[in-house]
């Protein structure tokens, strides 16, 4: 059952170098969407932190790191590689692309590309942030310093089952954020740490892919800043109120103009549900809803009392390119199923899906799940897609695709 596993404590990865990170359940979900199964299979429980009284080895109280290796190995499956010891020195962008100056071992080279994403480029040394002219609002606490290093210590009670922490540890030495996450063909991501950086990259990645393929308007990329800025500002507010009027002015917005409804709203994380039976195959296969969602297409689960109730909706939506939009019908266990050629037929055997998606008995309801596992639109059959007229679904996609 995927949902209970992903909502447990974060998993971690560790290796001898001492560099690494822990993963939140949401990041694990995104790696699952990307089909990087090794992240979960190689993960270990995060190490506990043991702190000591200053100047002693007396414990006060009882985080992780193979991730970069796993991701590089996964990239190799797509003939992609990470070029180490290479730094960005400058760039110039135009309507057609970006020309960069790179340095590798003291040797400069010019490289032309369509887009730039400056990962962890929101900090003080961020060349992308500085050249874009992004503001860096907030404050720096000069009285707070954190030193990390690989140190060999020998002492009673020191082991490899804990992180050992000495001295006072204060977080939030630099509490700052940019005013936007990109300009033109150049973007920044990951300034608040790895887990939030994964969310940044996933939010931008699927949109950038659609634009690069020529099937989405470039204006879709503007929603990256609109959707991620409120999240980052909330993270900063959790630590300290430092952005004065700026944080207050950044409010979560519905970037696509889709009406929210009920307690489950557009822009919410799509719930996962176990015990879903996929029929229409030689042998029915048990799965979860997350097993259907992928980062290279939108998924439209149509909840309906029967296949007959879903048929008009399916007919109205089947014109969408199946490489970027997938249809699925979710039926109650009492429904009879006649396999059809195109959409995926799913049986909600225990009613978990209807419960999680707030679908009442006998109700027809349509969801649009974005490639990053977030709800893009929620539509009642009687209102938006009744009798083959999916107006609200088409309205959503009109904000994304050129021709809908």
122 and 184 together in one domain: yes
- Domain-located, residue 71: yes
Q: Which of 362, 365, 353 lies closest to 262, judged by CA?
A: 365
How many domains does the chain contain in total?
2
349 and 236 together in one domain: no
- Domain-located, residue 327: yes
178 and 226 together in one domain: yes
Helices and strands (H and E) in the chain: how many: 12, 20
Whether the per-residue pLDDT at 79 is higher than 90: the answer is yes
- Bridge partners of 137? 177
- Domain-located, residue 110: yes
- Domain-located, residue 111: yes
Tokens 């994380």: give the residue. Answer: 269
pTM greater than the 0.85 cutoff = no
Phi-psi category of 228—alpha, beta or left, where left has phi over 0 and alpha has psi -120 to 50? alpha
Split at pLDDT 50, 70, 90, the class of 10 is: very low
11 and 100 together in one domain: yes
Please provide the distance, in angstroms rounded to a whole number, between the alpha carbons at the two ends of the chain.
36
211 and 301 together in one domain: no
CATH number at residue 179: 3.50.50.60
Work out the average pLDDT over 256-285: 72
Report d(CA 376, CA 66) in Å as an integer: 33
282 and 370 together in one domain: yes
Name 146's Cβ contacts closer than 8 Å, sequence gap at least 6: 169, 170, 173
Buried b (16+ CB within 10 A) or exposed e, 62-79: eebbbbeebbeebeeeee
47 and 147 together in one domain: yes
Question: Residue 120: what pLDDT?
Answer: 66
- Domain-located, residue 127: yes
Work out the average pLDDT over 219-243: 76
CATH number at residue 330: 3.40.30.10
Split at pLDDT 50, 70, 90, the class of 87 is: confident
3-state helix, strand, coil in the chain (%, to 5): 30, 25, 45
Mean pLDDT over each residue of the chain, to the nearest integer: 76
CB 158 within 8 A of CB 164: yes
Q: Which of 233, 249, 265 represents a domain boundary (last residue)?
A: 249
189 and 332 together in one domain: no
- Domain-located, residue 267: no
Instruction: Calculate Rg over the CA atoms of the chain.
Output: 24
Residue 301: CB atoms within 10 A of its CB come to 24
- Domain-located, residue 270: no
Interior angle at CA 268, CA 331 and CA 68, nearest 5:
105
CB 381 within 8 A of CB 243: no
200 and 111 together in one domain: yes
- Domain-located, residue 306: yes
235 and 284 together in one domain: no
326 and 377 together in one domain: yes
241 and 307 together in one domain: no
- Domain span holding position 354: 276-398
- Weakest mean pLDDT among 66-70, 146-150, 312-316: 146-150
DSSP symbol at 291: G
Q: Which of 249, 284, 310 represents a domain boundary (last residue)?
A: 249
């Amino acid at each position: 059952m995927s949902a209970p596993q992903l909502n447990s404590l974060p998993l971690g990865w560790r290796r001898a170098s001492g560099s690494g990170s822990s993963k939140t359940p949401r990041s694990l979900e995104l790696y699952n969407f990307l089909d990087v199964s090794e992240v979960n299979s190689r993960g270990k429980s995060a190490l506990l932190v043991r702190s000591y009284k200053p100047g002693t080895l007396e414990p006060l109280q009882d985080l992780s790191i193979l991730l970069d290796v796993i991701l590089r190995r996964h990239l190799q499956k797509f003939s992609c590689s990470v070029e180490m010891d290479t730094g960005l020195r400058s760039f110039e962008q135009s309507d057609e692309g970006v020309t960069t100056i790179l340095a590798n071992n003291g040797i400069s080279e010019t490289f032309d590309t369509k887009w730039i994403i400056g990962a962890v480029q929101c900090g003080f040394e961020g060349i992308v942030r500085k050249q874009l002219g992004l503001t860096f609002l907030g404050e720096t606490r000069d009285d707070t310093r954190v030193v990390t290093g690989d140190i060999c210590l020998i002492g009673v009670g020191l082991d490899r089952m804990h992180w050992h922490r000495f001295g006072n540890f204060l977080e939030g030495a630099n509490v700052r954020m940019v005013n936007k996450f990109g300009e033109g063909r150049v973007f920044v991501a990951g300034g608040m740490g790895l887990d939030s950086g994964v969310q940044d990259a996933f939010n931008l990645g699927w949109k950038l892919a659609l634009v690069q393929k020529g099937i989405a308007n470039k204006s879709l990329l503007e929603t990256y800043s609109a959707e991620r800025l409120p999240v980052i500002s909330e993270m900063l507010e959790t630590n300290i109120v430092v952005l004065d009027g700026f944080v207050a002015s950044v409010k979560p917005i519905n970037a696509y103009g889709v009406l929210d409804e009920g307690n489950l709203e557009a822009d919410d994380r799509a719930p996962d549900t176990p015990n879903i039976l996929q029929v229409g195959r030689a042998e029915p296969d048990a799965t979860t809803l997350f097993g259907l969602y992928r980062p290279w297409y939108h998924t439209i689960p149509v909840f309906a009392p029967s296949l007959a109730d879903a048929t008009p909706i399916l007919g109205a939506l089947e014109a969408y390119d199946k490489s970027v939009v997938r249809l699925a019908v979710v039926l109650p266990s009492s429904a009879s199923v006649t396999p059809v050629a195109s959409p995926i037929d799913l049986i909600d055997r225990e009613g978990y899906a209807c419960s999680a998606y707030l679908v009442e008995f006998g109700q027809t309801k349509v969801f649009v799940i974005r490639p990053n596992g977030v709800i893009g639109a929620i539509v009642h059959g009687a209102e938006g897609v009744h009798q083959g007229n999916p107006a609200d679904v088409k309205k959503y996609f009109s904000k994304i695709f050129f021709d809908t």
